[in-house]
Structure 1
Amino acid sequence: MGLGRGSAMVLLLCLFVIQSEMVNAAIYRVGGAGGWTFNTDGWPKGKRFRAGDRLVFNYGPGAHNVAVVNKAGYAGCNAPRGSRVYRSGRDQITLSRGMNYFICSYVGHCQFGMRIAIYAP
């Protein structure tokens, strides 16, 4: 069954909206030139994030990691069972709508500021 003229227009409009959101997505290097390291917890301040923006975490593999955690994991500096953990040293993570929490789950690293919380409307 073919698409009617109205259905085709709706489909094209949806594709345009999706494409324009992808084009407008920003890419942020977490921690700036210093990368994902200690004392980066203040790095998000003053930045305006949106859902679909990408975060790039640069760090030495084996020295750190990036765990995507919930609010409790962020507050307690622990990666709950089932948390997604990245280890490549060049991780790219797309922000979801709402609060996004990231920590380094190596012992003591989160407590020394290797954690960020980002709101993305």
Structure 2
Amino acid sequence: MAQGRSGAMGLVALVLVVFGLLELSTATTYTVGDSGGWIFGVSDWPNGKNFLAGDVLVFQYSAVHHNVVAVNADGYNSCSVPPGSTTYTSGNDSITLQKGANFFLCGFPGHCSGGMKIQANAA
């Protein structure tokens, strides 16, 4: 009887792994700003897109002139970088969306107010 239970547990584990892989494979990768990349005026880019938790945003930009900072709603609305915010500087950053509102801006002075910020809401 114990072998039957361990076999069933193994099958359950296998099914969970397969469903986990299927969930990962359904994630969509988006290049922020499309062919223009992470540039001034990109703030409307998310409009009309249906993001899901696990989708990946790719930010492509000149690392000499820009960066990407993951901020909270207050930082987004005020174009400021709250303490503890994560800053990306590679020029080709891949960021996985979390469920809910995700906020990003360029932390270089004046860039956020120039439209280098996006809000991506993931279901």
Partner secondary structure for residue 80 of structure 1: coil
Q: Which amino acid aligns with 1:47?
A: K
**Identity over aligned pairs, percent:** 43
Alpha-carbon offset, residue 11 of structure 1: 1.0
Look up the match of 1:103.
105
**In 1, Cα distance between the equivalents of 2:7 and 2:121?**
39
Q: Structure 2 residue aligned with 1:32, among 18, 31, 34?
A: 34
Consecutive unaligned residues of structure 2, counting only runs of 5 or more, are: none
RMSD after superposition: 1.2
Alpha-carbon offset, residue 18 of structure 1: 1.2
> If the length of structure 2 is used for normalisation, what is the TM-score?
0.93
Partner secondary structure for residue 63 of structure 1: coil
Aligned length: 120
Please say which structure displays the higher CA radius of gyration: 2
Consecutive unaligned residues of structure 1, counting only runs of 5 or more, are: none
Look up the match of 1:4.
6
Q: Given the alignment of the two structures, is residue 91 of structure 1 paired with residue 93 of structure 2, yes or no?
A: yes
**In 2, Cα distance between the equivalents of 1:118 and 1:9?**
37
Look up the match of 2:65.
63
Q: Structure 2 residue aligned with 1:14, among 5, 13, 16?
A: 16
